[in-house]
Amino acid sequence: MATETSLLGLILEASGIVQLVMLLLLAASVASWAIILRKRSLLRDAMANSNEFENSFWSGGDLTSIYRDITGRGEAPANMAGIFEAGFREFRRLRQQSDMLPERVLDGARRAMRAAQLRETDRLEESLATLATIGSTSPYVGLFGTVWGIMHSFRGLGNVQSATLATVAPGIAEALIATAMGLFAAIPAVIAYNRYADQVSRLELRYDTFAEEFSTILQHYAHARKSKSADESSRGDA
C-alpha cells in the first residue's frame, strides 16, 4: 500500500509536461487494449467461419444450394462465404447472357471474388497500423517524458546548496515512470501486432487458395454449359 501511495504521489507531483506524457501513454494503452480485444474476436470469428464454410463447401453439396443458404441468412456474407457469394452471383448473372463467352464469364467471376477478397482483407487489417504505431512510438514518448523530468529535476537542484540522493531520487523516479508507462503501452501492442498480422496473412493465403480452386470449378461449369448448348444446337439442326 505504501508503494502504491508513493507511486501515485510521484505521478501527481510530476511536472506538467511529464503528466501530459503519462496521460498520452495511458490513452494509448487503453486504445491498444481495445483494439487487441476487438481484433482477437474478429480474427477468431473469421477463422471459425472459414472452417465452417470450407467443411460445407467441400462436402459435395450443390453450389446453388450453398449460395441460397448463404444469401438466405438475412445478413451480408463475410469471410470466405462472402468471396464465394460474390463470385457465384456474378457467374450466374453473366451466364444468363446467351452471347457471353465462358472465358468472359470466368473473368467476371474472378474479378468479383478479387474485389470481395480485398474488402475482407481490408476489414481484417483495420487498426493493425494503429497497433504498430503505438508499439513503435510509445517508448520514445516515454523517453521524452523521462528526459524532460530529469531536466526539470536538475534545474530545481540548481537552487539547492547541497544535493543528496534523497533530494535527487524523487525527481528521477517520477521521470522514470514515463519510460515504464511507455514500455507498458508498447509491449502488448507489438506482441499483438505480430500475432494478428501473421493470422491475417494466413487467412489471405486461404482466401487466395479458395478463389483459385473455386475458379477451376466454375471453369468446368462454364465449359460444360457451352458443350451442352452446342449439342442441343447440333441436334436442332439435324
148-188 per-position pLDDT tens digit: 877 777 776 666 555 555 556 666 777 788 888 999 999 99
Residue 27 CA, distance from chain mean position:
20
pLDDT of amino acid 236: 47
Higher pLDDT residue, 222 or 1? 222
CB 148 within 8 A of CB 18: yes
Answer whether residue 85 shows pLDDT above 50: yes
Nearest to 188 by CA among 47, 35, 7, 38: 35
Residue 115 lies in a domain: yes
Q: Is residue 217 part of a domain?
A: yes
- Which amino acid, residue 62? D
Is 53 inside a domain boundary?
no
- Do 160 and 130 contact (CB within 8 A), yes or no? no
Q: Looking at residues 53-59, what average pLDDT do you find?
A: 89
Residue 4 forms part of a structural domain? no
Task: Label residue 38 by pLDDT band (50, 70, 90).
Answer: very high
**Predicted TM-score of the model (pTM):** 0.80
Mean pLDDT within 69-77? 86
Q: Are 159 and 171 in contact (CB under 8 A)?
A: no
Report in angstroms the alpha-carbon separations of 113 from 73, 102, 161. 20, 17, 76
Q: What is the pLDDT of residue 171?
A: 67
Mean pLDDT of the chain: 83
- How many domains in the chain? 1
Asked if the structure places residue 102 within a domain, the reply is yes
Nearest to 109 by CA among 213, 224, 225: 213
Is residue 169 one of the residues assigned to a domain? yes
pLDDT of residue 184: 93
Q: Is the pLDDT of residue 235 over 90?
A: no
- 7, part of any domain: no
- All three cell numbers of 52, joined, read 465452417
Grid coordinates representing 87 are: 463470385
**Residue 72 within a domain:** no
Q: 168 is in which domain, residue-wise?
A: 17-47+77-232
Contact 27, 187 (CB under 8 A): no
Quote the pLDDT of residue 177: 84
Is the pLDDT assigned to residue 221 strictly greater than 70? yes
| CB proximity list for 209: less than 8 A, separation 6 or greater | none
